[in-house]
Structure 1
Amino acid sequence: MAIASLSDLAETARCPLLVIKVGSALLVGKQGVRREWLAGLVDEIAAARGRGQQVIVVSSGAIALGAATLRLEKGGRGSLADAQAAAAVGQIALSGLWTELLGNHGLTAAQMLLTLEDLEDRRRYLNVTATLTRLLDAGAVPVINENDSVATNEIRFGDNDRLAARVAQAAQASAVLLLSDIDGLYDRHPTEEGAQMVPLVEGISPEINAMASAESNSGMGSGGMVSKLQAAEIAELAGICLVIGNGQHDRPVQRIIGQGIGTLFLPRRKAGARKAWLGGRLRLKGSLVVDAGAAAALQRGSSLLAKGVIEVEGVFERGDPVAIVDEKGRVLAHGLSEYDATECAAITGLHSSDQADVLGYAPRSSVVHRDQMALK
């Protein structure tokens, strides 16, 4: 049974595994930890467990907590060094908080700190999947955060919205609930006159992306609506529903699910596990620009041939992930290249019969094979 409405998130048969993402501004206020609010949320998590659902928590807040303890300016986000130091201190307090509150309900918290590389590298991704599966089977509640004490700007998610979607993908969750500072997706900036909330989205489209704003009202968090829609795209490819709801209220999950206040993103399709992982990648080593004929062929399920490539961007090796884009810069697919960047550039636009003379060996059947490609 598939999820069709917000109320279905409370149905064990439709939603056996729910990922709940909690933002920094919800967990930490001007006076410190919003303990009473968090206790109410943990009550809701315990209720979900009581009706047979499994729950994974993706929790921000380490940097904010650590910055307060170390008295760092700008909430610990003044520099990368400040953020890393704040995270190192704050993560201890954050994990202790979740352990205590979940323990009050007889639930065991399990901390996992992840970097972008843990979910972008296929072998490490599968290891995360195995660990999450074992923890859930053992009855624990995984509490996950980005490992900000070691992550650099080049190897970090930058927001927990996309991390939550990737974790849901790895754990094969039914749905992701992003608790935010807004009721849902609005058709324009919510401060504009006539702005209306969109209750249901069936597949991310250019029109939906145009509604997004990168702003975050609190100034404490790092993700705005743009990152939430990117998270919805990642979830969609894996066949996972995603919900944006307002976490500022007491017992926010009940308000979202019980009263139906939020935006529900329904996936249009479900890719295989490997293609879902590939399509959800955030770091790519380069891009291949293709002509209109190749773009149309990709949509029909064809592999990408060198003849359809008109430009090669970036530095990458054989087997590296690349974006396939059209002449307008629109991303059509992610895929694993069969050639390195230099070889790709050398055979751009050539028929297979002409490639051997350039390469010095028999060409491979394609530049990106359809089995190693995920359409966007």
Structure 2
Amino acid sequence: MREARRIVVKVGSSSLTTASGGLDADRVDALVDVLAKVRGQGVPRAGSAEGGDTGRNGGRNGASEREIVLVSSGAIAAGLAPLGLRRRPRDLARQQAAASVGQGLLVARYTASFARYGVRVGQVLLTSDDMSRRAHHRNASRTLDKLLAMGAFPIVNENDTVATDEIRFGDNDRLAALVAHLVRADLLVLLSDVDGVYDGDPGKPGTSRIAEVRGPADLAHVEIGSAGKAGVGTGGMVTKVEAARIAAAAGIPVVLTSAIHAADALGGQDTGTYFHPTGRRSADRLLWLQHASTPQGALTLDDGAVRAVVHGRKSLLPAGIAGVEGDFSAGDPVELRDGEGRAVARGLVNFDAKEIPLLIGRSTRELARDLGPAYEREVVHRDDLVVLHP
């Protein structure tokens, strides 16, 4: 953790605002104090000697400056008090109105706070659509990389003003995991109002903090709580644990703790719950395909195709399709389901939905003979496919 050079930090609404809505300037400043200090500390370069010259990317003694991307919730919560709302509204229109007012206040507060350290802030607003469309995904990656290279401090939030389903995205937790993969982060730190994952209700005696999670089995018998007590966010421990699992599966270690312990978490101290990496970094398109894409339809597979795709990691051929649902185009993400309707995989389809009925149960050789050589190919290629339930 102390050697992490590029870090994504996510902070929840309850850690930045009052329970009645509105930003808590002291909380924002306290978080910025920690982030600015850690950013300027630097990480020793491999083979560097003590007392070396200042490196190109900052840092003394041959150290490279740490790069931090902040994923910050709080726009809707910040807009409650200015609009005279006593609590987070349930209807979408007022949520979007609150986000419109609150996002400006949020970034203005961050801008003023970071200015105390001479640091320029860059705002990046994303939606799930930006993470699932490959062109948008690449553009977001380039923007964040360039902001970091130019010394700016990127602050990412969901574009709640125009979002629909994205407002229920999990209080930015899943977005933070995807951003961590997007920027090739060395560490993800999730900050909330709870100082880690507990083996029971943390408010009751006899429960204890789980210091490390090495895999899903470590939490198999733990009941994870939902939304926090502050009532201004939408996430809760469930979404944070899921975000940690997404990042860990992509090879990124995760620390989950409270905002008041941010300095300890970023300093490598024993705080919160540490999720060990459980997998390796995968291609960007596969991560967004599994965790950010919205399936536009579904293909039902016969038993042989399920075995080939799930266990054999093979491409899906027309002969293995038993049914089709939805109205999708070639290149769209679709679910691959078994005979019981369970989604076992997700992939990018090579045909329009209206073409699939012509292909069902037929071999590629037969299709090429009857329909032309363009049909002698996979319906979903294994390189554009992720297994959801092995």
After TM superposition, the score normalised by the length of structure 2 is 0.82
Report the 3-state secondary structure (helix = DSSP H, G, I; strand = E; otherwise coil) of the residue aligned with 1:74: coil
Specify the alignment match of 2:106 in structure 1: 94
Specify the alignment match of 2:317 in structure 1: 305
Note the alpha carbon deviations across 1:261-282, whole angstroms, 9 max, x for none.
2242423222123323323324
Aligned equivalents of 2:212, 2:276: Cα separation in 1 = 6
Aligned pairs (5 A) from 1:118-267: 118-153=130-165, 157=169, 159-187=171-199, 197-204=209-216, 208=220, 211-247=223-259, 249=260, 251-254=261-264, 257-267=268-278
Q: Decide which moves more: 61-70 or 35-44.
A: 35-44
* Cα gap change, 1:241 to 1:364, in 2 (>3 Å): farther
- Equivalent pair of 1:352/1:363 in contact (CA under 8 Å): yes
Specify the alignment match of 2:385 in structure 1: 373
Q: Which amino acid aligns with 2:161?
A: S
Note the alpha carbon deviations across 1:135-180, whole angstroms, 9 max, x for none.
0001111011111112223787353111111222221111211112
* Structure 2 residues not aligned, in runs of 5+: 43-65
Aligned equivalents of 1:192, 1:312: Cα separation in 2 = 50
**Number of residue pairs the alignment of both structures matches:** 362
- Equivalent pair of 2:12/2:233 in contact (CA under 8 Å): yes
- Equivalent pair of 2:12/2:171 in contact (CA under 8 Å): no
1:23 CA drift (Å): 0.7
Q: Is 1:39 aligned to residue 29 of structure 2?
A: yes
Note the alpha carbon deviations across 1:297-341, whole angstroms, 9 max, x for none.
223321112232333232211110112233455443321001222
Report the 3-state secondary structure (helix = DSSP H, G, I; strand = E; otherwise coil) of the residue aligned with 1:307: helix
Q: Which amino acid aligns with 2:24?
A: R
1:133 CA drift (Å): 0.5
Aligned equivalents of 2:306, 2:149: Cα separation in 1 = 44
Specify the alignment match of 1:3 in structure 2: none
1:19 CA drift (Å): 0.7
- Percent identity over the alignment is 39
Aligned equivalents of 2:205, 2:238: Cα separation in 1 = 21
Aligned equivalents of 1:165, 1:209: Cα separation in 2 = 24
* Cα gap change, 1:124 to 1:181, in 2 (>3 Å): same
1:213 CA drift (Å): 4.0
Report the 3-state secondary structure (helix = DSSP H, G, I; strand = E; otherwise coil) of the residue aligned with 1:28: coil
Specify the alignment match of 1:59 in structure 2: 72
Aligned equivalents of 2:91, 2:256: Cα separation in 1 = 29
Aligned pairs (5 A) from 1:354-373: 354-355=366-367, 363-373=375-385
* Cα gap change, 1:229 to 1:356, in 2 (>3 Å): farther
Q: Decide which moves more: 312-321 or 16-25.
A: 312-321
Report the 3-state secondary structure (helix = DSSP H, G, I; strand = E; otherwise coil) of the residue aligned with 1:176: strand
After TM superposition, the score normalised by the length of structure 1 is 0.85
Aligned pairs (5 A) from 1:338-353: 338-353=350-365
* Structure 1 residues not aligned, in runs of 5+: 1-7
1:121 CA drift (Å): 1.0
* Cα gap change, 1:359 to 1:240, in 2 (>3 Å): farther
Note the alpha carbon deviations across 1:12-35, whole angstroms, 9 max, x for none.
xxx111111111111001364333
1:203 CA drift (Å): 4.5
Note the alpha carbon deviations across 1:23-51, whole angstroms, 9 max, x for none.
11110013643332332221211121122
Aligned equivalents of 1:225, 1:87: Cα separation in 2 = 23
Q: Is 1:48 aligned to residue 38 of structure 2?
A: yes
Q: Decide which moves more: 143-152 or 189-198.
A: 189-198
1:134 CA drift (Å): 0.5
1:125 CA drift (Å): 0.9
1:192 CA drift (Å): 7.8
- Equivalent pair of 1:236/1:270 in contact (CA under 8 Å): no
1:205 CA drift (Å): 6.9
- Equivalent pair of 2:12/2:74 in contact (CA under 8 Å): yes
Q: Is 1:279 aligned to residue 301 of structure 2?
A: no
Q: Decide which moves more: 261-270 or 109-118.
A: 261-270
Note the alpha carbon deviations across 1:180-238, whole angstroms, 9 max, x for none.
23233345665688655443334457975984444333321111233224323442453
